[in-house]
Amino acid sequence: MWLLLDLYKKMTTYSHSRISTYENCPYQYKLRYVDKIEPEIAETIEIFMGKRVHETLEKLYKDKKFKKLVSKATLLKFYKDNWEKEYSDDILVVKEGLTGENYRKMGIKFIEDYYNKYKPFDQLTILGLETQDRMTLKDGNQWHVRIDKFACDNKGNYYVCDYKTNASMKDQEEADADRQLAMYSIWVKDKFKDAKSVKLVWHMLAFNKEAISERSEEQLEKLQDETIAQIKQIERAEKEKDFPTHITALCNYCGFKSQCPSFKHQIEVEAKEDIKEFKEDDGVKLVDEFSEVKLKKKEIEEKEEKLKSDLIEFAKQKGIDIVYGSNMKAGVKEFDKIVMPEDPEEKEKFIKLMKDKGIYEECSMICYPKLNSKVLKGDIDKEIKNKVQIEKDFRISLSKRKDVEEE
C-alpha cells in the first residue's frame, strides 16, 4: 500500500509553467493546481493573441511538411479567421488605452515579419510541432515537454524553438538563465543520442529577432537539481498547506482575483451600487476607523514628545525639577545613561570584552525578531527549534490603496 502511495506521489507531472506559478504566487498555485479551480476570466488578451500566433505558425510548418508552401495572404487569413471565431468580450485587456484590435494588429505584424524573414522555411528539418511528451526527473517526478518547434540540421545540431510575443526583448543573460527551454535540452539529449549540440532559440516576434542559448552538461545537471529542490519546496508547501499570496503587478492578469484573500474584499466593495452602500460595508467602516485612530495616535505621540522637550526646557530655565499643573504635577529629573559604542568594530570589541569579563550573559537579552525569523525559516539547530512552540498570530498593516486617486 505504502509502496503504491509512494509511486503515486512520484507520478506528479511538473512543468515550467506550474513551477513558475508557484514562484510568482503560491496562492494562485494552490487554486490552480491543488484545488483545480477554473479561473473566472476567460484569458488575457496577451495569452489569446499568443495562442492565435502559435497556431498560425504551426499551420505554416504543418503545410510545409507536405511540401506545401502556404502564401502569406493565406496564412494571415487563417490568423484573422481564427481570431474572429475565438474572440469573446470577456477576454481581459489590462493595459490602459489598448483594445483587442491593437493586439490583433500586433499579431498580424509578427506573422508578416516572421514570414518575410524565414521564407521559404527550409533552414532546418522540422522534427516536431507543439510536441507533447514527458521525461522522468532524477527524483522520479515527471516533467512536461512541450516544444513549439523542434528541429535539426544536417550537422547534428538540434533546435528547441519557442515563439514569444512578449513586449520586452530577452537579453543574453535572461536567455542563459531561462529554465523552460533548458529543461527541454535534457529531454533532447536523452532522446537523440547523436545530438552534437542543443540550441535554445526564442523567436522574439515583437522585435523580429532571435535570442539563442546553449547549456553545458554541468549547467543542465545543476538546473535539474535546482528544479528538483524547487519541487521539494512545493511538495512541502502542499503538505503544510502553506500558500501565502504574493502581490505583484502580475495580479492584474490573475484569473482568480475574486477568490484571492488579498483582493476578494476589494472586488466585493467595488460591486456596491453607490458610495453610501460602499461606506456602510463593515470592512470599509473598520479600516476607515482604524486608520483614523492610528493617525490620531501618531499625532498624540508626536505631541507627547514635543511636550516632554518643552517641559524639560521650562524646568531648566526655572531651575526646578517639578512642574505643577491643575490636578497633576510633572517631575523633571536629570539622570545618567550609558551610550554604547556605535562603530561596528568598536561594538564588537566591546561585546568581546563583556564576554571575557563574564558579564555578557547577565547583561544581554534574546533578540526575539532574529530568533523568530531563524526558527520560522528553519535556519537554526533542530534541538533549539524543538524547544519552542509555533502558534498563529495576526499582524495588521495599513497602507495606501494605489488604485484610489487622492482627493
Binding site for ligand SF4 (CB under 6 A): 25, 27-28, 245-247, 250-251, 254, 256-257, 260, 262-263
Query: Residue 83 or residue 243: which is nearer to ligand SF4 going by CB?
Result: 243
Return the closest-CA partner of residue 147 out of 134, 135, 132: 132
CA–CA dist 42, 255 (Å, integer): 8
Q: Is 308 helix (H, G, I), strand (E, B) or coil?
A: helix
Tell me whether residue 28 or residue 213 sits nearer to ligand SF4 (CB atom): 28
Phi-psi region of 111 (alpha: psi -120 to 50; beta: other; left: phi over 0): alpha
The neighbour count for residue 378, using CB atoms within 10 Å, is 9
- The rounded distance, in Å, linking the Cα atoms of 356 and 346 is 15
C-beta closer to ligand SF4: residue 201 or 260: 260
We find the least distance from the C-beta atom of residue 24 to ligand SF4, in angstroms, to be 7
Interatomic CA distance for residues 359 and 357, integer angstroms: 6
Whichever of 32 and 104 has its CB closer to ligand SF4, that residue is: 32
Least Å distance, CB 407 to ligand SF4, is: 27
Nearest in space to 126 (alpha carbons), one of 165, 156, 159 = 159
Least separation, in Å, of the C-beta of 367 and ligand SF4? Answer: 31
Query: Least distance (Å) from ligand SF4 to the CB of residue 265?
Result: 12
**Least distance in angstroms from the C-beta of 27 to ligand SF4:** 4
Separation of alpha carbons 85 and 103, rounded Å: 15
| The three three-digit cell numbers of residue 305, written as one number | 514628545
Q: What's the min distance (Å) between Cβ of 254 and ligand SF4?
A: 3
Between residues 30 and 203, which has the closer beta carbon with respect to ligand SF4? Answer: 30
Nearer to ligand SF4, 156 or 244 (CB): 244
- 211 pairs with which residues across the strands? 202
